[in-house]
Chains A and B, each alone.
Chain A
Amino acid sequence: MGYVEISRRNPTCYVFLIDQSGSMAEKVADDPNKSKADKLKDFINRFLTNLVVGCTKADGVRDYFYVSVIGYGLNVGSAFIGPLANKDLVPISEIADKPARIEERLKEDGAGGVVKTKFPIWFDAVADGQTPMCHALNMTKGILEGWLAQHPNCHPPIVVNITDGAATDGNPLVPADELKNLKSSEGNVLLYNIHLSSGFATPIKFPNSEANLPEQYAQQLYAMSSPLTEDQINYANKTHEMNIEKDSKGFVYNADPVSVFLALDIGTKMASPQDTPEIKGDTPEH
């Protein structure tokens, strides 16, 4: 099914739900200097950078997208810091102009050397408290109800929940279903889930059944997840040379950094690539 075109007249939105519980302080297996929270911070800040750059035209940054980043841990609410602190849904042009700070990092130049690159920061790594995922899903529902009332014909909003543990405030299936029941004229809100691994367990990417999921918790996240769209599956199979089947869900279990990148790239792919920025290659930083 093809969706409506995304344009400045008919923008859509992304909501990222970021687990900021205490367990996110665990180091990741392939990079002992970084915690899961550090890695997640880099992923989402880089995603925002790529989204801004993709919406940048000669006449400015075009508001094709509004973005919300909700953290859940000791507190539940906007994870933005700096000038965007406490804001829920922010147009991409405002995100472009208001990073909290711009760091400089080194990246490989493709010819054996390194070059400096700017790395804007909109939110920092946080790891404290429990995992109030239900609260975060409910808050997202409130945000998207408001958005859909104003944008009834938008491309269905995409919510990406990234977590390393089970909800500590109830059964997340209930608020997840309520969230997925929200819809525009183009279709229901899409909820995707990425479960972060701290070990070397093999990731399970975009399953289309519960059969190979090892535990009840994984099955719960699978049940919470929306199916990938036809456009996303076609994109994944063409661009990433994957072999994703038709009814696969937007869910990755035991995701390592490579599969987090993949899941973000595929799960955030919207239906109108004419207007949709590409996520560029995940160049290593030092």
Chain B
Amino acid sequence: MKIKYSHFWLPKAGNTASTCEDAFFPYNFPFDTISHDPKYQRYAIADGASTAYLSGLWATVLVDGFGSYSDEITNTNFFDLIQTLILTENWNPQLADYIKKREDEGKPLSWYDEMALQNGAASTLLVISFSLEEKEVKDNFSVLAIGDSCLFQVRNNELITKFPLNSSADFDNSPLLISNDPKRNEPLQEKISYLVNQSLLPGDKLFLMTDALASWFFQEYEKENKPWEIIEEQIVDKASFENWIEQLRENKLMRNDDVTLMILTVQGES
């Protein structure tokens, strides 16, 4: 089996693309750095917290770091990976680049930048892993999440998996967030949502989305609608996606927030 993949994103109304704090993998990641014979194929989305500083950069570091990781990711090695792989190899150099860029632009960090930096960046993360055998996707997947970015799996036009939340009532304004400060992540150890050995069949569709769209998805489903059908009817390209999201916002059916959607379609024979 193979995965056909499409992605859509739109910043919060009133904001520019450069201030969008959602991130997803693969996007800008340099693919030539990935092993030629990988064991896993991964997709990831993250929603940087708008209340924290440099959360968009942190979200990007998370999706790139986990999306391109070459070995197994489980709930037991997850935080070790954050600490070692991300903080040491990815985050600190990116932060150093940002600080240097500010200095080069004649806008060195001020007292409030420094304090905001001390408070730390924060983001949700959802990463889905497909095992590969001779470059073909095997018939199961695992998925891991912190926070309210969601996965929905649809088979034969029925919703068979919702993860990690179960209903629109599960959303609130303080989702679990991964911090760039390892000490703040300690309480999260027990709170990782993790599914393993989930069945995968040709024709399955997997929808990965950040909270504003996920909340809409649940609300439609709770009204006994099939939101995946609405998504597929509405979205044919980038422009139709953007128009549709803008309409949902205008009609108050969706909170004004950055939106990311990835659609994975499983193709081939089992």
Do the beta carbons of B14 and A52 come within 8 Å of each other?
A: no
What chain B residues lie within 8 Å of A239 (beta carbons)?
174
Complex CA distance for A25 and B174, rounded to whole angstroms = 40
For residue B212, which residue of chain A has the nearest CB? A274
Chain A, residues 55-83, CB within 8 Å of chain B (1/0): the string is 01111010000000000000000000000
Complex CA distance for A275 and B19, rounded to whole angstroms = 14
Do the beta carbons of A5 and B256 come within 8 Å of each other?
A: yes
Q: Which of A54, A61, A110 gathers most chain B CB within 10 Å? A: A54
Contact of B119 among A102, A273, A275, A280 (CB under 8 A): A280
Contact of A8 among B14, B54, B256 (CB under 8 A): B14
Chain A, residues 233-276, CB within 8 Å of chain B (1/0): the string is 00000110000000000000000000000000000000001111
Q: Which of A7, A52, A53 gathers most chain B CB within 10 Å? A: A53
What chain B residues lie within 8 Å of A9 (beta carbons)?
14
Contact of A58 among B54, B255, B256 (CB under 8 A): B54
For residue B53, which residue of chain A has the nearest CB? A56
Q: List 15 A-B contacts (CB under 8 A).
A: A9-B14, A49-B115, A53-B119, A56-B53, A56-B112, A58-B53, A58-B54, A58-B56, A58-B57, A61-B112, A117-B115, A118-B115, A120-B111, A273-B173, A280-B119
Residue A91 is within 8 A (CB to CB) of chain B in the complex: no
Complex CA distance for A36 and B255, rounded to whole angstroms = 43
Residue A145 is within 8 A (CB to CB) of chain B in the complex: no
A-B contact sample (17 more), CB < 8 A, given A56-B53, A57-B19, A275-B50: A8-B14, A49-B112, A52-B112, A53-B53, A53-B116, A53-B119, A54-B51, A56-B113, A58-B53, A58-B57, A58-B98, A59-B18, A110-B183, A120-B111, A273-B173, A274-B257, A277-B51
What chain B residues lie within 8 Å of A59 (beta carbons)?
18-19
Known: A5-B256, A53-B116. A118 touches B111 (CB 8 A): yes
**How near does chain A come to B12, taking the closest CB pair, in angstroms?**
9
Complex CA distance for A61 and B173, rounded to whole angstroms = 22
Known: A53-B115, A56-B116. A273 touches B174 (CB 8 A): yes
Chain A, residues 84-113, CB within 8 Å of chain B (1/0): the string is 000000000000110000100000001000
Chain B, residues 45-69, CB within 8 Å of chain A (1/0): the string is 0000011011011000000000000
B: number of interface residues (CB 8 Å): 24
Complex CA distance for A278 and B173, rounded to whole angstroms = 12
Complex CA distance for A276 and B57, rounded to whole angstroms = 20
Complex CA distance for A9 and B15, rounded to whole angstroms = 10
Complex CA distance for A61 and B113, rounded to whole angstroms = 9
What chain A residues lie within 8 Å of B112 (beta carbons)?
49, 52-53, 56, 61, 96
**How near does chain A come to B48, taking the closest CB pair, in angstroms?**
10
Residue B33 is within 8 A (CB to CB) of chain A in the complex: no
Residue B89 is within 8 A (CB to CB) of chain A in the complex: no
Residue B186 is within 8 A (CB to CB) of chain A in the complex: no
Complex CA distance for A275 and B49, rounded to whole angstroms = 10
For residue A96, which residue of chain B has the nearest CB? B112
**How near does chain B come to A10, taking the closest CB pair, in angstroms?**
9
Do the beta carbons of A57 and B256 come within 8 Å of each other?
A: no
Do the beta carbons of B14 and A7 come within 8 Å of each other?
A: yes
**How near does chain A come to B256, taking the closest CB pair, in angstroms?**
6
**How near does chain A come to B7, taking the closest CB pair, in angstroms?**
23
Residue B114 is within 8 A (CB to CB) of chain A in the complex: yes
**How near does chain B come to A283, taking the closest CB pair, in angstroms?**
11
Q: Which chain B residues numbered 220 to 270 have a C-beta less than 8 Å away from chain A?
A: 255-257
